[in-house]
Amino acid sequence: MKPVYSLIVVMLMLIVGGIIVMQGDPEEKVGLTGVMELVGDAQRTALKPAMMATRVSPAEEMELGNRLAGYMSFGSVSSSDSEELKAIELYVKRLGRSLLGSISRKEINYEFHLIDSGMVNAFALPGGQIFVFKGLVDFVESEAELASILGHEITHVDARHCIESFQAEMAAEKIAGSVLGNDRWLAGMAMRYASRIIQGGYRQFQEFEADARGLKFAVDAGYDPSAAEMVMQRLGMAYGGESKPEKASDPVAELKIAVKSAAGSYFRSHPPTVDRVERLRRQASQHTGKKKFYVGKENLKQRLTRSQKEIPEEFKAAR
């Protein structure tokens, strides 16, 4: 092709592309989050051999999980707690188990716990120990929303996010055990901090991955794909989302702001809520067609899972 023809084609592509984007109200987002994601990918790939070499067996992982869960027992529901709490915990356990159909690590035994606290949160420990705060159950508006959150925490276990943060520490303790004896925890602690710094680059990626696969678990179980996006949006509004920065005065100032924010975001455990909502929305929008998904608002109120009581009115079509 003659240069003049390729020039014309390229110019047309550029101009047409620009015009089309201008019509679609493009997002004014400038920053190094994309670059940081690529850096995280590189870190993840580079650490893969180390993670595989220090990988622990499912039995070891579950043992560690049980040990750690024992420390968390301060707020767990006990036999003396009210019937309501017990019902909620049972509800959470049933719902959690219903989401395990598409997990990849079948050898892990998942356990779901309720913590009697008003905090709106949930977390996972290695070996399938999932903890949900009562405040979160009160905060969600449907069973589908709670399912997406539980799916998120299940993914942290299934994708080894939880155990990987302990692997380096455990390996260091094993290796240093013969040398340091009872003081091997020192090596473990040093390795813990080192691994946190190294893994900090892709911790946000793990959150995105947990969102995505958690939603998949929920959808595979028949729950509404838009529930995850809605609950995340409400969480962001209730607990402070990040405001968009003002436009910089010039390109150099813009770059400075981007570099500053990138350096600060490296050690953030969770990505900005706006980005999470956006990604969840994009993923949910892939579910089109006539298939109906379950919402389960009434199920949540009655603390009865869909498997216990399926209400026909709770089905809704995908967007």
25: left (phi over 0), alpha (psi -120 to 50) or beta: left
Amino acid in the structure at residue 85: L
Least Å from the CB of residue 11 to other proteins: 7
Compute CA 94 distance to the chain's CA centroid, rounded to the nearest angstrom: 21
Beta-strand relationship, 129-133 and 292-294:
unpaired
With CB under 8 A, what is the number of residues at the site for other proteins?
Answer: 55
Give the residue from 238, 215, 217, 219 showing the smallest Cα distance to 228.
Answer: 215
Applying the rule CB under 8 A, the residues between 166 and 205 that interact with other proteins are 205
Compute CA 59 distance to the chain's CA centroid, rounded to the nearest angstrom: 24
150 to each of 96, 231, 278, how far by Cα in Å? Answer: 6, 12, 20
CA–CA distance, 104 with 317 (Å, rounded to integer)? 28
Alpha carbon dihedral 166, 167, 169, 173, in 10-degree steps, equals 130
Of residues 65 and 214, the one with the C-beta less far from other proteins: 214
Least Å from the CB of residue 264 to other proteins: 16
Q: Vertex 236, ends 212 and 319: CA angle to 5°? A: 50
Least Å from the CB of residue 38 to other proteins: 7
Q: For helices 143-158 and 226-238, what crossing angle results, to 10°?
A: 90
Determine, following the binding rule CB under 8 A, whether residue 253 of this chain makes contact with other proteins. no
Least Å from the CB of residue 204 to other proteins: 11
Of residues 180 and 258, the one with the C-beta less far from other proteins: 258
Binder of other proteins out of 119, 127, 179, 209 (CB under 8 A): 209
Give the length of the chain: 319
Binder of other proteins out of 39, 68, 198, 258 (CB under 8 A): 258
Q: Are 40 and 202 in contact (CB under 8 A)?
A: yes
Binder of other proteins out of 20, 186, 197, 237 (CB under 8 A): 20
Least Å from the CB of residue 88 to other proteins: 30
Stretch that binds other proteins, among 16-24, 66-74, 190-198, 233-241 (CB under 8 A): 16-24
Residue span 23-62 as binding mask against other proteins, x where in contact by CB under 8 A, dash where not: xxxxxxxxxxxxx-xx--x--xx--x--------x-----
Determine, following the binding rule CB under 8 A, whether residue 15 of this chain makes contact with other proteins. yes
Q: What is the DSSP letter of 267?
A: T
Of residues 2 and 80, the one with the C-beta less far from other proteins: 2
- Count other Cβ atoms within 10 Å, centred on residue 228: 30
Binder of other proteins out of 275, 302, 310, 315 (CB under 8 A): 275
Of residues 74 and 106, the one with the C-beta less far from other proteins: 106
Q: Are 272 and 244 in contact (CB under 8 A)?
A: no
Binder of other proteins out of 226, 283, 299, 305 (CB under 8 A): 283
Least Å from the CB of residue 168 to other proteins: 17
DSSP string, 247-263: PPSSHHHHHHHHHHHHH
Q: Which residues bind other proteins (CB under 8 A)?
A: 3, 6-7, 9-11, 13-18, 20-35, 37-38, 41, 44-45, 48, 57, 104, 205, 209, 212-213, 216, 219, 249-251, 254-255, 258, 275, 278, 281-283, 286-287
